[in-house]
Structure 1
Amino acid sequence: MSTPGCDTERHEHLQTLYQDYNGWLRGWLRKRLNNSADAADLAQDTFVRVLLARTSGTLLEPRRYLATIARGLVIDLYRRRSLEQAYLEALALRPEVHAPSAEARALIFDSLMAIDRMLDGLGARTRQIFLAVQLDGLTYEKTAERLGVSVTTVRKHLASALMHCLLLDEA
């Protein structure tokens, strides 16, 4: 449990961190993104992550800490844009009469992002087995044959993937 004094200290520390490094971080991001608006958004998101992290004490290397968080956000931004572009290209191939509404597109895209995050958290072999069974509809035996592993290995990796999904769903 935090005390009012600790909360005040933390607030002052975060305020100082923001004042001292926000300009630097925006510049660092602008160099990598070539876009001032995206840089400002990701800098803000970085400080929100710091705020939510509930770290205590003074950071020994604040630039490195902020850059690490921001780097992850840049990767997320590019991944989201890449997935969005692929989705829009797939939509463009569909006849206009079958195109989903704007609301349905947003819901589908949110689902695609959630699936992408889930798959990203799996190891390569586990992801490959999960997709073979869930997406391709292969039996455990056919999956084992295709990938050159035992049925026991398929079961083990699929159980691991499903546990990962459940844990993400609860989080």
Structure 2
Amino acid sequence: MFSGFFVTLVSTIQEAKVNLEAHKTSTTPLDFLILDDQLEEHVQDILRVIHSPDAPALRDTKLVHLYTPTMSRTGHAVFGTNATPGVVKITKPPRKARMLQTLAGLKDLPNAITTAKTVVSKAVEDITAVQRTLFGNVLIAEDNPIAQNLLVKQLERFHLNVTATANGEEAIEAWKSHVPGHFSVALYADL
């Protein structure tokens, strides 16, 4: 998840504190500290180390607190609040895009996530890939006549010879009726 980052992984809060104490006088600033811990007391302990006056390398460190939402004994809300200044809370498990977007936002970097590709754009990319790798004869099986005609037109645009069938059985018969190697590929839409 953090390729491109310099990461130090520790297993306990005590190890984290020791590493932070050692980093206080470093000339390299620490950008982020990601804390995977349920206890709010541990968050406060880490904040005390980060905000200590003798820690210039930690001055701009951002704390990301990963936690599992639970119902407290007092009946408070399931999701925690970001009431602690300088702490960003993220529920577990964090998704890669969400984590990277959060880190980018904390560093005031552009953090726009590209939208998911539509079915049409994926199909166009697939057809473009087909153009680069396919040649000759293509066998397709598609029971929807509109989709079949569209697919035939798209493939023929790339100078492919298309044999269209309405179902898998027809496709198998068409395959068998030609010599081996006649078709470069067979496309079955509803697998």
Q: Which has the larger radius of gyration?
A: 2
Question: Which is strand-richer, 1 or 2?
Answer: 2
Same fold (TM over 0.5): no
Query: Structure 1-normalised TM-score?
Result: 0.23
Question: Which is helix-richer, 1 or 2?
Answer: 1
